[in-house]
Structure 1
């Protein structure tokens, strides 16, 4: 897993172990947060390299309790990825 992550230009992930591995490997990340506040468990260092999208559970777009990450649109993720990769 470390080798695969190390070969990436960018990792898009939720708040998971691979996120923290990528941060340690200095691989840019876009992490998605809905159930947890990224201020508590997100990337703390290299803020230019590691970005996140956060919607609090109280956000009206969060309507699916079983899959809350669905509230973050594909378009929003794509736009952020595109911007990160062209910087």
Structure 2
């Protein structure tokens, strides 16, 4: 048994010309993907976060991120001066 909302959606779809059905199908597929179970993606993201957190606290206290970035840029791109 269809809900009222699904019946309304079907009625709207039936009024759309066949030429435009590609767009309707594309939208419906995107909606389906957005509502799908993302358990595997969440698990992968959590594992990646755990991997990053393993390195937490491994830098010396005098570590200068800006200086390291500057050195890395100079190494990669050369000195613009």
TM-score of the two chains, using structure 2 as the length reference? 0.22
Q: Between Structure 1 and Structure 2, whose CA radius of gyration is higher?
A: 2
More strand by share: 1
Which gives a bigger RCO, structure 1 or 2 (Cα 8 Å, sep 6+)?
A: 1
More helix by share: 2
